[in-house]
Structure 1
Amino acid sequence: MKVLIVDDEKNVLDVIKILGKWEAQGITKILEASRGEEAKILIEKESPEIIFTDIKMPGMNGLELMKWLDSNSYQGKVIFITGYNDYSYMRQAIKHNSFDYLMKPIEADVFNEILKEAVIAWQRDFVETNLIEENYIYNKIVTDACTGETYDMNNLLLSLPEANRYDMTLLSFYHMHYSEPEIKSLANKLSTQRLGNAYSLQTYHNLCLVVTLENEWVTIEKWLSEHMESPVRIVASEDPQPLKNLPTVFKMLKTKLYNNQFRTVYQSTQLDQVSQIQDIVSFVDNYYMEDISLEKLSNLFFLSREHISRKFKQEKGMPMSKYVTNLRIKQAKCWLRGTDETIYSISVMLGYQDEKFFSKLFKKVTGFTPNEYRNKKDEVIG
């Protein structure tokens, strides 16, 4: 690991070199520069992980150097050195995302504490950046395999515990609740315990493919029920498969998913059926003017159409279709009495594209055509 010290005062450079406990923090090379322009050349050549720079120097000062670093996407840690107890300097340092700052005269304990923290922060960022890049590569390999593209199976094997066969499971998330961090957390859980891995599919943004050792699915399902806030649909391969079969298995799992041949895992605290059906009723109450069907509700709430139909009727005492119709007719009455909107406009706003159909339905429910109802403004009618 390399450190660059930038200061136009040679005595400051010498003091810092003496004060620093470099070896203890894994610093193998110390670079020096007395000007910002000189520092730029060293940074481009040596790529130091940590930079200590004076704020006020002739020519390019420390703040200008920091702006240049920002423009070049510098990933290291920058600590400003200043003899000015001036808030404006500190504000500028914060603005440009400096790691910390040191006041002159520099105290050994303070300096080494900041050095230690900078090294730890850089190492943490380095690991996280590598993980992100590594996950992106593995996710892309799996995505390529699933979409019929050429993929590197040997590279993919590096992300999995060694085995001849694996269980493969497809997870489908309700898109409004899909959370990339949750998938990363599951992937970390699996890889840390050497059970397998989870891959986000880049062309299917609500799908995740989980590859695990045989008979480890119980561990995954338990994790899902404890951590996922929304229900998750799962489709699993019937038998363990060699990794080379991944493209074929994915197609089979996706077909099963689209044919509603899936199981649903709920969060352990969200198994209350009453709460679920109340959520559905609330949804219908809010969106009754839109195209609502049992199929749409089934996709949104991860419940079968038959279950929703039966529970909805138990909750409201009528089929959902009749409940929606009643809400629409009630709203139509308000608009007919309280606005000058045309019958056609009211029909469309309520979700009926055919005005004649709407008029017939309105008369069937109320006993009046929409025009008759509107014209009876002075009469008390339902």
Structure 2
Amino acid sequence: MTQLLIVDDELHMIEALEQTIPWEKAGVKHIYTASYGDLALELMQSYVIDILITDIRMPGMSGLELIRVVKNRWPRTQCVLLTGYADFEYAKEALNLNAAEYLLKPVDEDQLLKTVSSIVAKQEEQWKWISSMETSQTLMRDHLPLMKHNLLNSLLLGAKYSKSDLRAKCSTYGMMLNLDNSDIFSLLLIRLGEGFYRYAYHDQTLLEYAFLNIAEELFKPDYTLWYCKDANDYYVFLLFPKSDDTENLTLERLANELQYYIDLYLKAHIAIGISKVGEFPEHLEEMYQSCIQLYQSKVNRDEQWLMKAHEFAVVPEQQSIHTLYEPPTLIHLLEASQWDQARDKIQSICTELRTKSTLTQAHLVEAYYYICSTYLYILHKSNLDADEASKLAEKLQKTPKTFVLDEIERWALTILQQLEVGNLNRNDSQTRTGNHLTKKVQLYIQTHLSGDISIMTLANHVYLNPSYLSRVFKHETGESISSYTMRVRMERAAYDLLNTRKKVYEITSELGYQNPQHFIKVFKKYYELTPQEYRESASRMS
């Protein structure tokens, strides 16, 4: 059954559309409502919305802007625009955004119901076609390379399958691997040089196809190939020898030949990391990670080299201040007004510094500026008295001439006490109520990252209407609930990547994401690096 979302800043209009139209006749099962664009987007992140009905003119995000975002994130959602303005430019823009319909207010209820019924019928026909057996078989054949690519990527990220499930998947994809007796294989990790990226996208893609054709021509006589492009834009090749007589020297020779022909015919360089021989699938992730480490010290993208991962010595990382970045961070504790826990956090940071075998000035400077920047951020977002806030800011901006651990601890605890007192002295009852609700929501988000933290769940937790809660939170913090949730999740992910040996799929699950590929996409959009690149860049800097 269809799910519908109505967005309008006029509450009487929402109530009229929701309660007076017999939506069940059009096949609509659930109706959701929002009074502004940001709330609509938060609802769409929590529920599958088939049809969006929105007013054009609303405070903040307009209906046209909302549709633009919706079409980008949820292209299957059909959109209907309502407006009281018979403006050709609005209609033209609606058509450009592929809106299903453009209706004038006051809207005729029969016309609106007929429009929605027509959209529902078209959607049902489309899904029937998509789900038909014949269509599924055709699509599977067309997408077989992508499905093999995704399966290998999930294995590289640490996904675990039973032998029977993996055997079934490989058989479906036309890969006859002997999983009862572990297959012997080698792994090549190949980075394309700058020569591949000097062209426009279309020509670059053709060049990569040429590279893959050359690789298949060289390797296929001796090996069964399975390859994909990983999250770092490296090509990963699994090579299963077709004969027991195939030696590892053959692989090195062929890798050298691959570099030679790429240079000769494509005028480009490639770097190749070769793993030791292992058993599939038991050793896959370990072999992949050993090759990844080769690239941490090889920064020059156009450098051409061939190295064996098991002959490469890994340089131990310099120790960081673990407690400083361990969740919940100081900034998250202060945002939720957890003053006692914040005090414990500062003392834990100082305890770790005291017990370090090699405590340096760099450690003290790092701790000082981290705490200072956190306090300035909290001060900026607080509603403290202007004079009091100014005095605190002045203290925070005075950098000490020398950094001494005991003095840093006293300074940090003193400022924390002043922030707490200033927060408790806020007299406005409405401000205190809003602040209390905000802290309660922030604490819930921080402690339920792996679960359901949708706007509806949070609203139920504090017994408020979702629309009202969103407005209060935005007013108190300056950011939306979805933005805050994203920030907390991304900071936790960054900490785990730098300070633990957790695999990407484990971090994905702990942060409530459905699959590693989606998590990688979100992380890259936030930090402009993939999780693996983020981990590697930190290793190079340490």
Is the structural similarity TM-score above 0.5?
no
What TM-score comes out, normalization by structure 2 length? 0.26
Q: Return the structure number with greater helix share.
A: 2
What TM-score comes out, normalization by structure 1 length? 0.36
Which structure would you say has the larger RCO, counting Cα contacts within 8 Å and 6 or more residues apart? 2
